[in-house]
Structure 1
Protein backbone atom coordinates (compact mmCIF):
# COMPACT_ATOMS: atom_id res chain seq x y z
CA UNK A 1 0.00 0.00 0.00
CA UNK A 2 1.44 3.38 -0.95
CA UNK A 3 2.40 6.01 1.62
CA UNK A 4 -0.32 8.32 0.27
CA UNK A 5 -2.99 5.61 0.65
CA UNK A 6 -1.79 4.90 4.19
CA UNK A 7 -2.01 8.59 5.14
CA UNK A 8 -5.48 8.86 3.58
CA UNK A 9 -6.70 5.81 5.50
CA UNK A 10 -5.20 7.00 8.82
CA UNK A 11 -7.02 10.30 8.36
CA UNK A 12 -10.29 8.46 7.64
CA UNK A 13 -9.84 6.34 10.78
CA UNK A 14 -9.21 9.46 12.90
CA UNK A 15 -12.36 11.08 11.45
CA UNK A 16 -14.51 7.94 11.51
CA UNK A 17 -16.91 6.79 14.15
CA UNK A 18 -15.09 4.52 16.60
CA UNK A 19 -16.51 1.49 18.38
CA UNK A 20 -14.76 -0.77 20.87
CA UNK A 21 -13.39 -3.89 19.19
CA UNK A 22 -14.82 -7.09 20.59
CA UNK A 23 -13.87 -10.75 20.78
CA UNK A 24 -15.61 -13.43 18.74
CA UNK A 25 -16.81 -16.50 20.65
CA UNK A 26 -17.30 -19.82 18.84
CA UNK A 27 -19.62 -21.09 21.55
CA UNK A 28 -21.88 -18.02 21.60
CA UNK A 29 -21.32 -17.26 17.89
CA UNK A 30 -21.21 -13.57 18.64
CA UNK A 31 -18.83 -10.79 19.55
CA UNK A 32 -18.48 -9.42 23.07
CA UNK A 33 -16.30 -6.87 24.82
CA UNK A 34 -13.56 -8.02 27.22
CA UNK A 35 -11.15 -5.25 28.29
CA UNK A 36 -8.86 -7.82 29.94
CA UNK A 37 -8.21 -9.52 26.57
CA UNK A 38 -8.54 -6.68 24.07
CA UNK A 39 -8.53 -2.92 24.00
CA UNK A 40 -8.73 -1.24 20.60
CA UNK A 41 -11.22 0.42 18.29
CA UNK A 42 -12.85 -0.43 14.99
CA UNK A 43 -13.29 2.66 12.81
CA UNK A 44 -16.05 3.23 10.31
CA UNK A 45 -14.42 4.65 7.17
CA UNK A 46 -16.02 5.82 3.90
CA UNK A 47 -17.22 3.11 1.48
CA UNK A 48 -14.74 4.32 -1.17
CA UNK A 49 -11.82 3.49 1.13
CA UNK A 50 -13.30 0.08 2.08
CA UNK A 51 -13.77 -0.76 -1.62
CA UNK A 52 -10.25 0.37 -2.54
CA UNK A 53 -8.66 -1.75 0.22
CA UNK A 54 -10.81 -4.82 -0.47
CA UNK A 55 -9.99 -4.57 -4.20
CA UNK A 56 -6.26 -4.54 -3.41
CA UNK A 57 -6.70 -7.60 -1.17
CA UNK A 58 -8.71 -9.47 -3.84
CA UNK A 59 -5.82 -8.97 -6.26
CA UNK A 60 -3.46 -10.67 -3.77
CA UNK A 61 -5.52 -13.85 -3.59
CA UNK A 62 -3.72 -15.85 -6.34
CA UNK A 63 -0.30 -15.05 -4.88
CA UNK A 64 -1.38 -15.96 -1.34
CA UNK A 65 -3.05 -19.19 -2.52
CA UNK A 66 0.20 -20.15 -4.20
CA UNK A 67 2.27 -19.24 -1.14
CA UNK A 68 0.03 -21.11 1.31
CA UNK A 69 -0.60 -23.97 -1.16
CA UNK A 70 -4.39 -23.92 -0.79
CA UNK A 71 -7.50 -22.40 -2.35
CA UNK A 72 -9.58 -19.78 -0.61
CA UNK A 73 -13.18 -18.78 -1.01
CA UNK A 74 -13.74 -15.98 -3.53
CA UNK A 75 -15.52 -14.25 -0.66
CA UNK A 76 -13.17 -13.02 2.07
CA UNK A 77 -13.79 -11.31 5.36
CA UNK A 78 -14.25 -7.61 4.71
CA UNK A 79 -11.44 -5.39 5.91
CA UNK A 80 -11.63 -3.92 9.39
CA UNK A 81 -9.93 -0.64 10.19
CA UNK A 82 -8.28 -0.55 13.61
CA UNK A 83 -6.96 2.09 15.96
CA UNK A 84 -4.83 1.19 18.98
CA UNK A 85 -4.15 4.05 21.38
CA UNK A 86 -1.58 4.16 24.18
CA UNK A 87 -2.16 1.16 26.47
CA UNK A 88 -4.27 -0.72 23.92
CA UNK A 89 -3.41 -4.37 23.16
CA UNK A 90 -4.86 -7.71 22.03
CA UNK A 91 -3.93 -10.71 24.23
CA UNK A 92 -2.69 -13.96 22.62
CA UNK A 93 -5.44 -15.61 20.56
CA UNK A 94 -6.25 -17.57 17.40
CA UNK A 95 -8.55 -16.47 14.56
CA UNK A 96 -9.37 -19.84 13.02
CA UNK A 97 -13.13 -19.74 13.63
CA UNK A 98 -15.76 -19.04 10.92
CA UNK A 99 -13.73 -20.77 8.19
CA UNK A 100 -10.84 -18.31 8.53
CA UNK A 101 -7.63 -19.66 6.94
CA UNK A 102 -5.19 -16.78 6.49
CA UNK A 103 -4.98 -13.53 8.46
CA UNK A 104 -3.74 -10.38 6.82
CA UNK A 105 -2.55 -7.31 8.71
CA UNK A 106 -1.67 -4.11 6.89
CA UNK A 107 0.35 -1.51 8.78
CA UNK A 108 -0.67 2.09 8.11
CA UNK A 109 2.06 3.81 10.12
CA UNK A 110 5.55 3.03 11.36
CA UNK A 111 6.54 1.45 14.63
CA UNK A 112 9.57 3.13 16.21
CA UNK A 113 11.63 2.61 19.35
CA UNK A 114 11.31 6.26 20.36
CA UNK A 115 8.17 8.40 20.15
CA UNK A 116 7.96 10.25 16.82
CA UNK A 117 5.24 12.21 15.06
CA UNK A 118 2.82 9.91 13.20
CA UNK A 119 4.38 6.71 14.54
CA UNK A 120 3.91 4.50 17.58
CA UNK A 121 6.07 2.44 19.92
CA UNK A 122 5.14 -0.91 21.41
CA UNK A 123 2.10 -2.41 19.70
CA UNK A 124 4.19 -5.25 18.27
CA UNK A 125 2.49 -8.04 16.30
CA UNK A 126 3.89 -11.23 17.83
CA UNK A 127 3.20 -14.58 16.13
CA UNK A 128 3.80 -17.94 17.81
CA UNK A 129 4.34 -21.28 16.07
CA UNK A 130 6.16 -20.00 12.99
CA UNK A 131 9.11 -22.26 13.78
CA UNK A 132 8.00 -25.87 14.17
CA UNK A 133 10.39 -27.02 16.90
CA UNK A 134 9.65 -27.91 20.53
CA UNK A 135 12.09 -25.30 21.87
CA UNK A 136 10.13 -22.61 19.97
CA UNK A 137 6.69 -23.69 21.18
CA UNK A 138 6.27 -20.72 23.55
CA UNK A 139 8.42 -18.22 21.66
CA UNK A 140 6.87 -15.62 19.45
CA UNK A 141 8.38 -13.81 16.50
CA UNK A 142 8.08 -10.02 16.81
CA UNK A 143 7.23 -8.11 13.65
CA UNK A 144 8.16 -4.44 13.53
CA UNK A 145 5.46 -2.43 11.75
CA UNK A 146 6.39 -0.45 8.65
CA UNK A 147 3.87 1.75 6.86
CA UNK A 148 2.34 -0.09 3.89
CA UNK A 149 3.63 -3.53 4.92
CA UNK A 150 1.26 -6.51 4.66
CA UNK A 151 1.79 -9.57 6.86
CA UNK A 152 -0.11 -12.78 6.04
CA UNK A 153 -0.04 -15.85 8.29
CA UNK A 154 -2.18 -18.92 9.05
CA UNK A 155 -5.21 -18.01 11.18
CA UNK A 156 -4.68 -21.00 13.50
CA UNK A 157 -1.40 -19.58 14.83
CA UNK A 158 -1.50 -17.87 18.21
CA UNK A 159 -0.69 -14.18 17.89
CA UNK A 160 -1.02 -10.96 19.88
CA UNK A 161 -0.58 -7.21 19.78
CA UNK A 162 1.59 -6.07 22.68
CA UNK A 163 0.55 -2.87 24.51
CA UNK A 164 1.09 0.38 22.61
CA UNK A 165 3.57 2.45 24.62
CA UNK A 166 3.21 5.77 22.79
CA UNK A 167 1.41 7.22 19.79
CA UNK A 168 -1.41 5.58 17.87
CA UNK A 169 -1.18 2.34 15.89
CA UNK A 170 -3.27 2.25 12.69
CA UNK A 171 -3.90 -1.04 10.90
CA UNK A 172 -6.22 -2.97 8.62
CA UNK A 173 -7.09 -6.63 9.14
CA UNK A 174 -8.80 -9.06 6.78
CA UNK A 175 -8.93 -12.80 6.28
CA UNK A 176 -9.19 -15.29 3.47
CA UNK A 177 -11.67 -18.10 4.16
CA UNK A 178 -11.88 -21.82 3.43
CA UNK A 179 -12.92 -22.62 -0.13
CA UNK A 180 -16.04 -24.24 1.40
CA UNK A 181 -16.92 -21.36 3.77
Structure 2
Protein backbone atom coordinates (compact mmCIF):
# COMPACT_ATOMS: atom_id res chain seq x y z
CA UNK A 1 0.00 0.00 0.00
CA UNK A 2 1.18 3.50 -0.83
CA UNK A 3 2.49 5.56 2.07
CA UNK A 4 1.60 9.25 1.65
CA UNK A 5 4.35 10.26 4.09
CA UNK A 6 6.71 9.68 1.14
CA UNK A 7 5.03 12.54 -0.70
CA UNK A 8 5.63 14.94 2.18
CA UNK A 9 9.22 13.76 2.68
CA UNK A 10 10.02 14.01 -1.03
CA UNK A 11 8.45 17.46 -1.31
CA UNK A 12 10.52 18.70 1.64
CA UNK A 13 13.68 17.20 0.10
CA UNK A 14 12.97 19.03 -3.16
CA UNK A 15 12.19 22.37 -1.49
CA UNK A 16 15.39 22.16 0.55
CA UNK A 17 17.46 21.01 -2.44
CA UNK A 18 18.47 17.76 -0.73
CA UNK A 19 18.67 15.59 -3.84
CA UNK A 20 20.47 12.77 -2.05
CA UNK A 21 17.55 12.51 0.40
CA UNK A 22 15.10 12.38 -2.50
CA UNK A 23 17.07 9.60 -4.14
CA UNK A 24 17.03 7.65 -0.86
CA UNK A 25 13.24 8.04 -0.60
CA UNK A 26 12.85 6.68 -4.14
CA UNK A 27 15.22 3.81 -3.42
CA UNK A 28 13.51 2.75 -0.18
CA UNK A 29 9.81 3.10 -0.99
CA UNK A 30 8.67 0.43 -3.42
CA UNK A 31 5.10 1.80 -3.62
CA UNK A 32 6.24 5.28 -4.52
CA UNK A 33 5.51 5.93 -8.20
CA UNK A 34 7.85 8.73 -9.26
CA UNK A 35 6.40 8.93 -12.74
CA UNK A 36 2.97 10.20 -11.70
CA UNK A 37 3.59 11.89 -8.41
CA UNK A 38 2.39 15.49 -8.42
CA UNK A 39 4.58 17.41 -6.03
CA UNK A 40 3.66 21.08 -6.52
CA UNK A 41 0.62 23.26 -7.12
CA UNK A 42 1.87 23.63 -10.70
CA UNK A 43 1.38 19.85 -11.08
CA UNK A 44 5.08 19.18 -11.49
CA UNK A 45 6.22 15.60 -11.11
CA UNK A 46 9.62 14.55 -9.77
CA UNK A 47 11.20 14.90 -13.23
CA UNK A 48 10.00 18.49 -13.66
CA UNK A 49 11.42 19.32 -10.27
CA UNK A 50 14.72 17.52 -10.88
CA UNK A 51 15.56 19.89 -13.75
CA UNK A 52 15.19 22.84 -11.37
CA UNK A 53 18.43 21.69 -9.74
CA UNK A 54 20.63 23.27 -12.44
CA UNK A 55 22.54 20.00 -12.72
CA UNK A 56 22.24 16.68 -14.49
CA UNK A 57 22.51 14.29 -11.56
CA UNK A 58 18.98 14.38 -10.06
CA UNK A 59 17.41 13.87 -13.50
CA UNK A 60 19.93 11.20 -14.43
CA UNK A 61 19.21 9.26 -11.25
CA UNK A 62 15.46 9.36 -11.89
CA UNK A 63 15.87 8.32 -15.53
CA UNK A 64 17.94 5.30 -14.46
CA UNK A 65 14.98 4.08 -12.39
CA UNK A 66 12.65 3.64 -15.36
CA UNK A 67 12.78 1.62 -18.53
CA UNK A 68 12.99 3.49 -21.84
CA UNK A 69 9.34 2.86 -22.81
CA UNK A 70 8.05 4.32 -19.54
CA UNK A 71 10.20 7.40 -20.00
CA UNK A 72 9.22 8.08 -23.56
CA UNK A 73 5.50 7.49 -23.20
CA UNK A 74 4.72 8.69 -19.69
CA UNK A 75 7.19 10.61 -17.65
CA UNK A 76 9.05 12.93 -19.94
CA UNK A 77 5.97 13.99 -21.85
CA UNK A 78 3.75 14.49 -18.85
CA UNK A 79 2.80 18.13 -18.68
CA UNK A 80 2.37 20.37 -15.68
CA UNK A 81 -0.34 23.00 -15.14
CA UNK A 82 1.34 25.23 -17.76
CA UNK A 83 1.49 22.31 -20.20
CA UNK A 84 5.28 22.36 -19.97
CA UNK A 85 7.11 19.09 -20.47
CA UNK A 86 10.28 18.25 -18.56
CA UNK A 87 12.27 19.63 -21.51
CA UNK A 88 10.36 22.94 -21.33
CA UNK A 89 11.22 23.22 -17.63
CA UNK A 90 14.87 22.33 -18.21
CA UNK A 91 15.04 25.11 -20.83
CA UNK A 92 13.34 27.62 -18.51
CA UNK A 93 15.78 26.81 -15.72
CA UNK A 94 18.90 27.22 -17.89
CA UNK A 95 19.75 23.57 -17.16
CA UNK A 96 21.86 22.84 -20.23
CA UNK A 97 23.16 19.61 -18.66
CA UNK A 98 19.60 18.25 -18.32
CA UNK A 99 18.67 19.45 -21.83
CA UNK A 100 21.71 17.65 -23.27
CA UNK A 101 20.88 14.51 -21.28
CA UNK A 102 17.29 14.47 -22.54
CA UNK A 103 18.12 15.28 -26.16
CA UNK A 104 21.52 13.62 -26.53
CA UNK A 105 20.44 10.58 -24.52
CA UNK A 106 17.61 9.87 -26.94
CA UNK A 107 14.87 10.48 -24.37
CA UNK A 108 13.19 13.05 -26.63
CA UNK A 109 12.86 12.97 -30.40
CA UNK A 110 13.24 15.77 -32.92
CA UNK A 111 9.43 15.99 -32.99
CA UNK A 112 9.32 16.44 -29.21
CA UNK A 113 11.53 19.50 -29.62
CA UNK A 114 8.64 21.05 -31.54
CA UNK A 115 6.02 20.30 -28.84
CA UNK A 116 4.20 23.42 -27.77
CA UNK A 117 2.79 24.24 -24.34
CA UNK A 118 -0.62 25.88 -23.88
CA UNK A 119 0.84 29.25 -24.87
CA UNK A 120 2.21 27.77 -28.09
CA UNK A 121 5.82 27.82 -26.92
CA UNK A 122 8.34 25.14 -27.81
CA UNK A 123 11.21 24.45 -25.39
CA UNK A 124 13.46 26.60 -27.63
CA UNK A 125 11.01 29.51 -27.53
CA UNK A 126 10.73 29.13 -23.74
CA UNK A 127 14.53 29.21 -23.51
CA UNK A 128 14.53 32.47 -25.49
CA UNK A 129 11.88 33.98 -23.21
CA UNK A 130 14.05 33.17 -20.18
CA UNK A 131 17.36 34.28 -21.75
CA UNK A 132 18.87 30.80 -21.79
CA UNK A 133 21.29 31.30 -24.69
CA UNK A 134 23.22 28.03 -24.26
CA UNK A 135 19.97 26.08 -24.40
CA UNK A 136 18.79 28.04 -27.46
CA UNK A 137 22.01 27.33 -29.35
CA UNK A 138 21.97 23.66 -28.44
CA UNK A 139 18.32 23.08 -29.34
CA UNK A 140 18.58 25.06 -32.59
CA UNK A 141 21.51 22.86 -33.62
CA UNK A 142 19.42 19.68 -33.42
CA UNK A 143 18.05 18.02 -36.58
CA UNK A 144 14.67 19.25 -37.77
CA UNK A 145 14.73 22.54 -35.85
CA UNK A 146 15.83 24.72 -38.76
CA UNK A 147 14.36 25.03 -42.23
CA UNK A 148 15.73 26.31 -45.50
CA UNK A 149 14.01 29.30 -47.09
CA UNK A 150 13.45 29.82 -50.80
CA UNK A 151 16.66 31.84 -51.04
CA UNK A 152 18.67 29.00 -49.43
CA UNK A 153 18.97 30.60 -45.98
CA UNK A 154 18.48 28.77 -42.70
CA UNK A 155 15.84 29.92 -40.23
CA UNK A 156 14.09 28.44 -37.23
CA UNK A 157 11.12 26.18 -37.87
CA UNK A 158 7.88 28.19 -37.76
CA UNK A 159 6.78 26.51 -34.50
CA UNK A 160 9.75 28.13 -32.74
CA UNK A 161 9.09 31.58 -34.17
CA UNK A 162 5.76 32.67 -32.62
CA UNK A 163 3.48 31.89 -29.68
CA UNK A 164 -0.29 31.45 -29.91
CA UNK A 165 -0.81 35.17 -29.39
CA UNK A 166 1.51 35.86 -32.38
CA UNK A 167 4.28 37.22 -30.13
CA UNK A 168 7.54 36.47 -31.90
CA UNK A 169 10.61 34.80 -30.49
CA UNK A 170 12.35 38.19 -30.72
CA UNK A 171 9.70 39.76 -28.48
CA UNK A 172 9.93 36.81 -26.07
CA UNK A 173 13.72 37.16 -25.91
CA UNK A 174 13.53 40.88 -25.17
TM value normalised by structure 1:
0.25
Larger strand fraction of residues: 1
Larger helix fraction of residues: 2
Which structure has the greater CA radius of gyration?
Answer: 2
